[in-house]
Amino acid sequence: MRTSPLGGVPVVLPPAGTMRTGQLSLCLDVDATPPAGGGPSGEERLTRPLPDVVHIRGWLTATDQRALVEHFRRWALPPAGLRHPRVPTGHVMSVQSVCLGRHWRPYAYSYTADDTDGAPVKPLPGHLIERSRRAVDDTGVPTPDGRYEPDAAIVNFYGPAAHLGLHQDGEEPSDAPVVTLSLGDTCIFRLAGVDRRTRPFTDIELRSGDLLVFGGFNRRIYHGVPKVFDGTAPSWLDLPPGRLSITVRETGLP
């Protein structure tokens, strides 16, 4: 698949402790104390909306979520930092993205941030590898040869009015599951079909701390995020207005 000859648009973060209108701030309130635990109560936690698609509510504890926001703040810094990706037509995506392990540039992978500063991509942290393996174990979504060897993560921040159109993860030869961790504002995660991006849709409400894993029959299902509900993030998370998505995958690339 081709990529855009134009680069992505880097996002410059304001200094810690500031919040400016229209800018992404990743400041943390170190004095705020999140509530214990993080899972929902009085409702079904694990659901299977489609074959080989599993949703677990409150899979991440509040402490887990706070830690991931702190990690994101460091990942977002240059070199190979946060940027708005640009699709081959030249359109700048509304989401802000930083990559780990391998750099994703619509629609190709590399080991350097070729659409911004060309720096080597930050490594995929061991704690994300282990967390994603546990996610696959907890959901029971099948893996090739019973092993899960993730090598890349795409970390997207959805600021106000950001969305992600229906698309298929077709750049990756691997049939291993995709693991998505959701933090911040609640969103609608939309699934279509493996051979269509039209109705009927299956819509899943992802809240802060939720886990979604899809693989097997639906590994290459068309999916997207048409809507993020402003102001729905937990107050203790200290994430700027919007949603943070951490998507871990095994690409199968050399």
What is the structure's pLDDT at 43? 56
Residue 238: pLDDT band with limits 50, 70, 90: confident
* Three-state DSSP class for residue 85: coil
- Contact status, residue 16 vs residue 28, Cβ threshold 8 Å: yes
Q: Which domains does the chain carry? A: 45-249 (2.60.120.590)
- Exposed (0-12), middle (13-18) or buried (19+): which is 7, by Cβ within 10 Å? middle
- Contact status, residue 166 vs residue 224, Cβ threshold 8 Å: yes
Q: Is the model's pLDDT at 162 over the cut of 60?
A: yes
What is the structure's pLDDT at 3? 77
Q: What are the beta bridge partners of residue 32?
A: none
Residues 59-71: what's their mean pLDDT? Answer: 97
- Contact status, residue 118 vs residue 147, Cβ threshold 8 Å: no
What is the structure's pLDDT at 172? 96
* CA distance linking residue 112 with residue 102, whole number of Å: 7
Per-residue model confidence as pLDDT tens digits over 196-218: 999 999 999 999 999 999 999 99
Backbone Cα Rg of the chain: 17
Angle at 157 between CA 246 and CA 112, to 5 degrees: 70
